[in-house]
Amino acid sequence: MTARAERVALRLPDAEVDCLLVTSPVNLRYLTGFTGSNGLCVIGPEVRRFVTDFRYVERAAREVHGFEHERSPTEFLAALREGWPDRPVRLGFEDHLLTVRQHARLRELLPAQVELVAAGGLVERERAVKEPGELETIAAAAALADDALEEVLGAGLAGRTERAVALAVEDAVRRRGGEPAFSTIVAAGVNGSSPHASPGDTEIPQGTLVTIDWGARLDGYHSDCTRTFATGSPGEDLRALYALVERAQAAALDAVRPGPAGREVDAIARELIGAAGHGEHFGHGLGHGVGLEVHEAPRLATTAGEALQPGHVVTVEPGVYVPGVGGVRIEDLVAVTEGGRRVFSRLGKQLTSVG
């Protein structure tokens, strides 16, 4: 953890700040190891302050090393009234997360020589590049999630409700020691045409496609995967849709390596789907970073200019959603490596009928 704070401290000049105030629980966990719900830290070249309230003092003593510990006064942010040098300080804050009210209160509490400067995203950029230990945790979460789904598929899909399947997946994840990474999506038939359909109480029929998007959280890290299965024998149109998404997913996955910008990888899938006349049915980005949050940097999308680099973990998940007909999405979780990529999702991607 101390190495992470070190790396962020080295980035402070880029944001033209002397110190960074970190209030986001996820970023705080990343930098300090603290798993409680209320804390903050201040990082500068010579500064490692960690503040929490009385409930978490003992936990912080166990989890947080390399920082000076302080117990907050009753008003949490008032801890920041003290402890500043007598010269001007530019204090960066996470402007994408701090509330307007917290900002106003901080301005009142801080001494006059401390200037608040918007500096959001510094920790997120650091988090985007995973360390070897983080990659192994994500790999373990993905393997756990794959096992859980295989167990559920063993009982078939047709005749069960979407909701029952979603619950079974989440239960199987929990029995293996994980937590669901997000609310499991199970979308059958025409429901599949909505990318984020909520599982309903209709029975999954024979002869259709069923999209399942699920993941596990393990030691704070997430996995994210989608497979579209068949029940019985779906019609020719649905099979063609599946073949298109399968081809687009494979082509984009093949382009994941150090170098290309997120938008270039996105374009590979988007052009294939567009050429087949389904451009308007692929309304979301190709993928997103995954780590301590299910959606984090970097993005694979038409607007993503950042180049992929070793240590990035992203999803590759093209989808085609045809209103009134159905949808297909195939999503793999993949790490960028020096030589290319390492795919964490191991369930097959040929159209499989699970009955």
Euclidean distance between CA atoms 140 and 232, whole angstroms? 32
Q: Which is nearer to Zn ion, 106 or 142 (CB)?
A: 142
Q: Which is nearer to Zn ion, 158 or 187 (CB)?
A: 187
CB of 237 to Zn ion, least distance (A): 24
Euclidean distance between CA atoms 315 and 313, whole angstroms? 7
CB of 290 to Zn ion, least distance (A): 7
Restricted to residues 331-350, the positions that interact with Zn ion (CB under 5 A) are: 331
Helix (H) or strand (E) holding 48: strand 47-52
Nearest to 42, CA basis, from 98, 14, 80: 80
CB of 170 to Zn ion, least distance (A): 14
Q: Which is nearer to Zn ion, 9 or 167 (CB)?
A: 167
Segment interacting with Zn ion, rule: CB under 5 A, options 2-10, 76-84, 135-143, 315-323? 315-323
Q: Does 63 bind Zn ion (CB under 5 A)?
A: no
Segment interacting with Zn ion, rule: CB under 5 A, options 40-48, 125-133, 165-173, 218-226? 218-226
Radius of gyration for the alpha carbons in the chain, expressed in angstroms and rounded? 23
Please report how the helices 132-153 and 162-175 are oriented relative to each other, as an axis angle in degrees rounded to 10: 130
Map residue 258 onto helix, strand or coil: coil
Site string for Zn ion, 116-155 (x = CB under 5 A): ----------------------------------------
Q: What ranges in 78-131 are assigned the alpha helix state H?
A: 100-109, 122-128
Q: Which is nearer to Zn ion, 110 or 316 (CB)?
A: 316
Nearest to 91, CA basis, from 30, 196, 12, 180: 12
The set of residues, in sequence order, having a beta carbon less than 8 Å from that of 238 and lying 6+ positions away, is 208, 209, 230, 325, 326, 328
Map residue 114 onto helix, strand or coil: strand
Q: Does 315 bind Zn ion (CB under 5 A)?
A: yes
Q: Does 223 bind Zn ion (CB under 5 A)?
A: no
Q: Which is nearer to Zn ion, 24 or 315 (CB)?
A: 315
CB of 195 to Zn ion, least distance (A): 10
Q: Does 24 bind Zn ion (CB under 5 A)?
A: no
Segment interacting with Zn ion, rule: CB under 5 A, options 28-36, 118-126, 159-167, 225-233? 225-233
Task: Name which position in 18, 63, 126, 224 contacts Zn ion (CB under 5 A).
Answer: 224
CB of 353 to Zn ion, least distance (A): 22
Q: Does 213 bind Zn ion (CB under 5 A)?
A: yes
CB of 297 to Zn ion, least distance (A): 14
CB of 287 to Zn ion, least distance (A): 7
My answer on whether omega of the bond before 25 falls inside 30° of 0, hence cis, is: no
CB of 2 to Zn ion, least distance (A): 32
Q: Does 266 bind Zn ion (CB under 5 A)?
A: no
Taking residue 144's Cβ as centre, other Cβ atoms within 10 Å add up to: 20
Instruction: Please provide the DSSP assignment of 154-205 as one string.
Output: TT-STTSBHHHHHHHHHHHHHHTT-EESSPPEEEEGGGGGSTTPPP-SSBPP
Segment interacting with Zn ion, rule: CB under 5 A, options 5-13, 165-173, 226-234, 253-261? 226-234
Q: Are 231 and 353 in contact (CB under 8 A)?
A: yes
Euclidean distance between CA atoms 11 and 97, whole angstroms? 19
Task: Please give the single-letter amino acid code of residue 102.
Answer: Q
Segment interacting with Zn ion, rule: CB under 5 A, options 46-54, 136-144, 197-205, 208-216? 208-216
Sites of contact with Zn ion (CB under 5 A): 213, 224, 226, 315, 331
